[in-house]
Amino acid sequence: MFAYIIRRVLYAIPILIGVNLITFTLFFVVNSPDNMARMQLGMKRVTPEAITAWKHERGYDMPLLYNSGAPGLDKVTETIFYKKSLALFALRFGQSDSGRDVAYDIQQRMWPSLAIALPVFVIGILTNITFALLIAFFRATYIDLWGVVFCVILMSISGLFYIIGGQYLIGKFLQLVPISGYEGGVNAYKFVVLPILIGIVGGIGSGTRWYRTIFLEEMGKDYVRTARAKGLSEPLVLFRHVLKNAMIPILTGAVVVLPLLFMGSLITESFFGIPGLGSYTIDAINSQDFSIVRAMVFLGSVLYIIGLVLTDISYTLVDPRIRLG
């Protein structure tokens, strides 16, 4: 088990190097730092001196991969690749293009993101499983048919509609909660209720349908027939046997996204003005702050890979048949 985890972590390293190379190519090779400086300073009237100064301030005035002018080891370390890209491995995110400390910002903004993403995730899964069990209980009846059709209808509505509609109905029309904003501490609940609710409602359609397929697949198996044959009632079969066995695909599907909850939701956060990592990323994209986007891409990949490792471990925990060697 322990050796397996070590192996998985080692396996993650080449993947992270790949991610690093992709972001490096996208951000520095396709577009030279000169181009970035020009974008930031305005396209037309910009002097070469201003560009040089901008690059120097942010440490972009180095060669990309190999610095032939520097002595000794600095030939490799005094380069953009080493300073800007490889430094991400040490979780040194450096400064954003507007001069703020990215690592500090990330630490600060992680919590509001989590305050929304975690409840959406937990309550969302519970709601979806409940609905899916209900539909599976009434399978092959009109409740099942129309339940599925209803799920498809819910799925077909744009996520933006849920947000805008919810903001209008609950925030503006009924005036139950503020439309957007955030406050630390206990008062935060006013601001997070609506985004959480909308996040859950928006996910019901696809979630319920997905879990229904899992349940139905599980219900076609032999042990369910055995359970029915020995005279167990249908609810008992469903809750005691099917639910327990269906937990394996459900849990493993859920564990992957667990670490990514830190990243927050891009759209929800920026619509509701929540100062989380999602809105941080959007702001960075809109102000074309490449160092933040770079840091977030790397962070996202790291979290995803952690999720993959956790998934493998959770397999062994919920399913005793699986042993990782």
In the complex, the residues that contact another protein under the rule CB under 8 A are 14-15, 18-19, 22-23, 26-27, 30-31, 35-36, 38-39, 43, 152-153, 155-161, 164, 167-168, 220, 260, 263, 266-267, 281-282, 285-286, 288, 290, 293-294, 296-297, 300-301, 304-305, 308
The helix/strand/coil state of 101 is: strand
Strand partners, 307: none
The helix/strand/coil state of 95 is: strand
Nearest-approach distance from CB 31 to another protein, in angstroms:
5
With tokens 């006013």, the residue in question is: 190
Rounded to the nearest 5 percent, the helix, strand and coil shares of the chain are: 75, 0, 25
Cα(250)–Cα(304) distance, integer angstroms: 17
Q: What does the DSSP assignment read for 200-264? A: HHHHHHHHHHHHHHHHHHHHTSHHHHHHHHTT--HHHIIIIIIHHHHHHHHHHHHHHHTGGGGG-
- Considering the complex, state which of residue 25 and residue 233 has its C-beta at the smaller distance from another protein: 25
The helix/strand/coil state of 67 is: coil
- Considering the complex, state which of residue 129 and residue 305 has its C-beta at the smaller distance from another protein: 305
> Which tokens belong to 194?
């609506």
Nearest-approach distance from CB 231 to another protein, in angstroms:
25
- Considering the complex, state which of residue 75 and residue 178 has its C-beta at the smaller distance from another protein: 178
Nearest-approach distance from CB 271 to another protein, in angstroms:
8
Nearest-approach distance from CB 174 to another protein, in angstroms:
15
- Considering the complex, state which of residue 12 and residue 70 has its C-beta at the smaller distance from another protein: 12
- Considering the complex, state which of residue 77 and residue 311 has its C-beta at the smaller distance from another protein: 311
- Considering the complex, state which of residue 30 and residue 73 has its C-beta at the smaller distance from another protein: 30
**Chain CA centroid to CA 201, Å:** 18
> Which tokens belong to 150?
């209803």
Nearest-approach distance from CB 291 to another protein, in angstroms:
12
69's CB contacts (< 8 A; 6+ apart) are: none
- Considering the complex, state which of residue 1 and residue 164 has its C-beta at the smaller distance from another protein: 164
Nearest-approach distance from CB 321 to another protein, in angstroms:
20
Question: Residue 78: how many CB atoms within 10 A of its CB?
Answer: 17
